């Protein structure tokens, strides 16, 4: 009996605490919190493995796989870009092997020069009889490179030449013009390897997408009324104080389409016109902005309704932000995309900018939060054809900018009394 009563109480509690499809408690259904004040959970709090995906992203998420590329030699025609695009372990391996292979190659060349000139035999005789003397001694023998006794010493001399260490124990003499020519060639090859490898490492550490890590987009996009029209909206922001110069933003809808002739285009890209507070595609990211697109008769979202916003819908909206980094002058690009089930219908973003003593502060903890607002559950086409739908919609409260005042204690006082 105790277990049965406990099970009944847990079942009743579960009926009072329902979850939406995104895992959020619907507290407003039971009257605990009013519906218009329920905020959606930030996407960072929802684990990725709990979100079902019927398909991969095709645009902003890089869900396109390239297969059966037969002309692989085209990548070698642009070696520098290929090296920069490689992963760090592969780049470091090539960086190390390029120096080791060049040292070993020229070490073998120096050993062959010493072997052909007889420097190795002279070194052997000198080790047996030190009284025979060195270069300019009684024997009169002058080697091409002094102190070359074996391949190990030739390899060490190769390292000294290429990295210009110069310990002083080994040196090239005037006896062999071939040795002087090899010395010049190794120095030139070493400079070329240094330029390519160091340039590759520098480009990898200063790639443009590193700056894009601090350009953030809201995890969800929303569709709600703005100025009496349905609008697709998203929020974008920059976490750094350094500005993005000439920043522009554009959006594309990627979906499968078919022509009148029956040709199927699996990744048809359709540009959509965007609006922002600045006007046009240029933006000024001094603070987070809400970018919106008016869904009109020219919009590819003209026939989208809440019933279409599920994970089986073949729809993806790609957002591309481009600009020049102020500190480095490098052009950067940040991309994201929204699948159909990542678009929230009938919600808008909460205000995150507050005024504090004549200055504005941004609360990034609420960057992706949304609030439900009255929105017709019909397409933009139906809303345009029947404007009487708007008469039945309750007006939502207007958002106002919060003001915070902080009383500051005076640091000094002015008095007429003499000190």
Q: Are 286 and 243 in contact (CB under 8 A)?
A: yes
CB atoms within 10 A of CB 335: 17
pLDDT band of 181, cuts 50, 70, 90:
very high
Q: Could you give the CA distance from residue 146 to residue 214 in angstroms, rounded to a whole number?
A: 57
Check whether 214 has a pLDDT greater than 70.
yes
Q: What is the pTM of this model?
A: 0.63
What was the pLDDT predicted at 164?
82
pLDDT digits (tens, 9 = 90+) for 107-121: 999 999 999 988 887
Pairing of strands 370-372, 347-349: antiparallel
SS3 104: helix
Q: Could you give the CA distance from residue 331 to residue 162 in angstroms, rounded to a whole number?
A: 36
* Closest among 243, 224, 220, 244 to 232, alpha carbons compared: 224
Q: Are 99 and 105 in contact (CB under 8 A)?
A: no
Phi, psi of 391 (to 5 degrees): -70, -25
Phi, psi of 272 (to 5 degrees): -125, 140
Check whether 398 has a pLDDT greater than 60.
no
pLDDT band of 128, cuts 50, 70, 90:
low
Q: What sign does the dihedral 311-312-315-318 (CA atoms) show?
A: positive
Tell me which DSSP letter residue 39 carries: B
pLDDT digits (tens, 9 = 90+) for 62-82: 567 777 777 777 777 777 888
Among 60-74, 128-142, 296-310, 380-394, the range with the most confident prediction by mean pLDDT is 296-310
What was the pLDDT predicted at 20?
39
What was the pLDDT predicted at 241?
85
pLDDT digits (tens, 9 = 90+) for 347-367: 999 999 988 888 889 999 999
Q: Could you give the CA distance from residue 300 to residue 318 in angstroms, rounded to a whole number?
A: 13
What was the pLDDT predicted at 63?
65
Residues sharing a CB contact under 8 Å with residue 161, sequence separation 6 or more, in sequence order: 106, 183, 186, 187, 190
State both tokens at 298. 């020219």
Mean pLDDT across the stretch 311-326? 88
Chain-centre distance for alpha carbon 374: 36
User: Any alpha helices (H) in 118-216, and if so which ranges?
Assistant: 119-128, 151-162, 177-205, 208-211
Residue with structure tokens 């070359």? 148
pLDDT digits (tens, 9 = 90+) for 187-196: 999 999 999 9
Check whether 217 has a pLDDT greater than 60.
yes
pLDDT band of 123, cuts 50, 70, 90:
low
Mean pLDDT across the stretch 372-395? 83
Task: Please indicate whether residue 377 or residue 129 has the higher confidence score (pLDDT).
Answer: 377
Q: What is the mean pLDDT of the chain?
A: 77
Greatest alpha-carbon pair distance for the chain in Å reads: 115
* Closest among 234, 248, 267 to 55, alpha carbons compared: 267
pLDDT digits (tens, 9 = 90+) for 239-281: 988 888 888 999 999 888 888 888 888 888 888 887 755 556 7
Domains and CATH numbers, the chain: 88-128+142-206 (1.10.287.70), 210-392 (2.60.40.1400)
What was the pLDDT predicted at 257?
83
What was the pLDDT predicted at 162?
92
Mean pLDDT across the stretch 144-172? 88
State both tokens at 134. 């060195």
């Amino acid at each position: 009996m105790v277990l049965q009563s406990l099970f009944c109480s847990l079942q009743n509690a579960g009926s009072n605490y329902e979850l939406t499809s995104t895992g959020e408690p619907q507290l407003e259904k039971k009257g605990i919190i009013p519906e218009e004040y329920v905020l959606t959970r930030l996407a960072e709090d929802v684990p990725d493995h709990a979100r079902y995906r019927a398909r991969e992203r095709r645009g902003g998420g890089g869900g396109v796989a390239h297969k059966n590329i037969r002309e692989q030699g085209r990548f070698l025609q642009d070696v520098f870009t290929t090296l920069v695009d490689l992963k760090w372990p592969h780049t470091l391996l090539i960086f190390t092997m390029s120096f080791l292979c060049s040292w070993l190659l020229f070490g073998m060349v120096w050993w062959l020069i010493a072997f052909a000139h007889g420097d190795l035999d002279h070194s052997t005789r000198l080790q047996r009889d030190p009284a025979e003397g060195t270069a300019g001694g009684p024997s009169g023998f002058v080697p091409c490179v002094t102190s070359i006794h074996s391949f190990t010493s030739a390899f060490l001399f190769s390292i000294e030449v290429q990295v210009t260490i110069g310990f002083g124990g080994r040196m090239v003499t005037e006896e062999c013009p071939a040795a002087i020519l090899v010395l010049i060639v190794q120095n030139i090859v070493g400079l070329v390897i240094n330029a390519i490898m160091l340039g590759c490492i520098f480009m990898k550490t200063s790639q443009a997408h590193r700056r894009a890590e601090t350009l953030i987009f809201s995890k969800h996009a929303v569709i709600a009324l703005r100025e009496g029209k349905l609008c697709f909206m998203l929020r974008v922001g920059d976490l750094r104080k350094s500005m993005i110069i000439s920043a522009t933003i554009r959006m594309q809808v990627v979906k499968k389409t078919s022509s009148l002739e029956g040709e199927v285009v699996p990744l048809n890209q359709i540009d959509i016109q965007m609006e922002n507070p600045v006007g046009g595609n240029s933006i000024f990211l001094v603070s987070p902005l809400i970018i919106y697109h008016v869904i009109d008769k020219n919009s590819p979202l003209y026939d989208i309704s809440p019933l279409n916003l599920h994970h089986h819908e073949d729809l993806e909206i790609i957002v591309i932000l481009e600009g020049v980094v102020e500190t480095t002058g490098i052009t950067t690009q940040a991309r994201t995309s929204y699948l159909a089930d990542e678009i929230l219908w009938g919600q808008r973003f909460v205000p995150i900018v507050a005024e504090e003593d004549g200055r504005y502060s941004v609360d990034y903890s609420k960057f992706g939060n949304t609030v439900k607002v009255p929105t017709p559950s019909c397409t933009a086409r139906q809303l345009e054809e029947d404007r009487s739908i708007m008469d039945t919609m309750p007006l939502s409260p207007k958002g106002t900018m919060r003001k915070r005042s902080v009383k500051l204690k005076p640091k000094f006082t002015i008095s007429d009394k003499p000190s």
